[in-house]
């Protein structure tokens, strides 16, 4: 137990997988709250881009979940543990069993003094699923709860935000391909902003989220995969033909592309790679359940207002437009800024000539 430790500045949070997409949001918020953060990652180099907070507040430690002593080296120092580690496809010795099914329990066993434990899983985790990814996520939750029945489990839907592998992936495909063959085109998703997910995680670390429960986090809108791609086309101002694939064709596509990825030793562009296991995931809706909504195990139930796609995504997809942000015609203004106008434009006008560095447009300077 923490005991005499009362403030975040006196507590250490170990974030496994803290250099990944979601990890950067989590580490940033923890640092802002004042916590000391240990970022456990296989490759500490990417963590140089993390917001470092105060000097010495965020520290990266090389950790490999396949080696228990590596886990213990970090977990033993932690007052709180957050596990974000997950993979979408297996590569070499990074298997679903090692990373997602077994690691949560191993981390929990090593974190004997940790007051709180937050595990990030995924909506769709199911021990009866055809997808090995979904089964391993469910196994990870079950193994963790055997050791830490008080753990907080977070299940987000697809996450978006700058640097995501959702909208950025489709924007790349839209730029490259005239026709998009789309597996799971009619499958429903509830994309959630990574910043909202991070906020829920930090609330759990703060002790503001009841433990021993599973929370399902989704955004304010439910969209089919086709609608997600159509929105991407709209934002990037590109017209593309979307070809809906039946499930059997999607599985075949995943089998072929997964085999090609292995044959090329992983040199294929990430945007083009889809495995059969991922194709299986695309056959099932990925939305917050009615039960979670009724029981308040959602973002809204945690007092967090979900951020819309429209509020975030266009800001980082603009680079995929043909002229990017450098469209002079788009950015040109036909009106005079109020600050430089010769007279007020009305009660709502921001008319402050005294703040301008020179005379108003249309007026002569006086000496």
pLDDT of residue 1: 45
Structural Rg of the chain based on CA atoms: 24
**Planar angle of CA 104, 61, 68, nearest 5 degrees:** 40
| Alpha-carbon span 315 to 325, nearest angstrom | 10
pLDDT at 223: 97
d(CA 365, CA 57): 53
**Which residues, in sequence order, are CB contacts of 84 under 8 Å at separation 6+?**
15, 16, 17, 18, 20, 22, 23, 26, 120
Give the CA dihedral 89, 136, 45, 19, nearest 10 degrees. Answer: 110
The candidate with the shortest Cα–Cα distance to 281, out of 167, 158, 191, is 158
How far apart CA 194 and CA 307 sit, in angstroms, is 9
What pLDDT is attached to residue 338? 52
* DSSP β-bridge partners for residue 192: 159
CA 15 to chain centre: 15
**Prediction pTM value:** 0.85
Residues in the chain predicted with pLDDT less than 50, given as ranges, are 1, 49, 334-336, 361, 366-367
- Give just the sign of the alpha carbon dihedral 133, 189, 85, 102: negative
- Asked if 11 and 36 touch (Cβ cutoff 8 Å), the reply is yes
Cα–Cα nearest to 78, from 30, 43, 124:
30
> Quick one: pLDDT at residue 263?
87
- Please say whether the beta carbons of 225 and 187 come within 8 A: yes
Buried b (16+ CB within 10 A) or exposed e, 75-84: bebbbbbbbb
How far apart (Å, rounded) are the C-alpha atoms in residues 267 and 248?
Answer: 26
Residue 287 and residue 222 in contact, taking contact as beta carbons nearer than 8 Å: yes
* Partners of 41 in the β-ladder: 62
Give the β-pairing of 58-62 and 36-41.
Answer: parallel
Q: What is residue 298's DSSP assignment?
A: S
In the prediction, which pLDDT does 367 show? 46
3-state secondary structure of 37: strand
Q: What is the spatial distance between Cα 350 and Cα 339, in angstroms, rounded to a whole number?
A: 7
Give every CB contact of residue 18 below 8 A, 6+ residues apart in sequence.
24, 26, 27, 37, 39, 40, 41, 47, 50, 60, 82, 84
Alpha-carbon distance values, 207 to 211, 247, 251, 334 (Å): 9, 43, 43, 52
pLDDT of 330 reads: 58
- H or E stretch at 83: strand 80-83
């Amino acid at each position: 137990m923490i005991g005499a430790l009362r403030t975040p500045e006196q507590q250490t949070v170990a974030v496994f997988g803290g250099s990944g997409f979601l990890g950067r949001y989590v580490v940033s918020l923890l640092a802002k709250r004042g916590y000391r953060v240990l970022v456990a990652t296989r490759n500490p180099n990417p963590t140089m881009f993390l917001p470092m907070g105060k000097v010495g507040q965020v520290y990266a430690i090389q950790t490999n979940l396949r080696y228990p002593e590596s886990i213990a080296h970090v977990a033993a120092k932690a007052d709180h543990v957050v596990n974000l580690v997950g993979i979408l496809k297996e590569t070499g010795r990074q298997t679903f069993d090692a990373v997602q099914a077994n690691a949560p329990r191993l981390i929990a066993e090593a974190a004997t003094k940790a007051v709180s434990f937050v595990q990030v899983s995924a909506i769709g985790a199911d021990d009866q699923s055809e997808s090995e990814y979904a089964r391993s996520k469910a196994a990870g939750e079950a193994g963790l709860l055997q050791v830490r029945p008080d753990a907080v489990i977070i299940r987000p839907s697809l996450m978006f935000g700058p640097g995501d592998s959702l909208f950025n992936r489709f924007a790349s495909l839209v730029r490259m391909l005239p026709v998009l063959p789309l597996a799971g085109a009619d499958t429903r998703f509830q994309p959630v902003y990574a910043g909202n997910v991070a906020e829920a995680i930090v609330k759990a670390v703060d002790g503001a989220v009841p433990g021993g429960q599973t929370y399902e986090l989704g955004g304010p809108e439910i969209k089919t995969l086709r609608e997600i791609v159509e929105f991407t086309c709209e934002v990037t101002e590109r017209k593309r033909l979307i070809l809906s694939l039946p499930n059997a064709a999607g599985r075949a596509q995943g089998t072929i592309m997964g085999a090609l990825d292995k044959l090329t030793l992983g040199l294929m562009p990430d945007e083009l790679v889809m495995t059969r296991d991922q194709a299986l995931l695309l056959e099932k809706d990925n939305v917050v359940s009615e039960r979670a909504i009724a029981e308040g195990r959602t973002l809204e139930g945690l007092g967090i207002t979900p951020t819309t796609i429209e509020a975030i995504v266009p800001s980082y997809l603009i680079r995929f437009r043909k002229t990017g942000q450098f469209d002079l015609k788009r950015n040109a203004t036909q009106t005079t800024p109020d600050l430089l106008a010769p007279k007020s434009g009305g009660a709502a006008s921001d008319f402050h000539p005294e703040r301008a560095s020179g005379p108003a447009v249309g007026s002569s300077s006086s000496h």
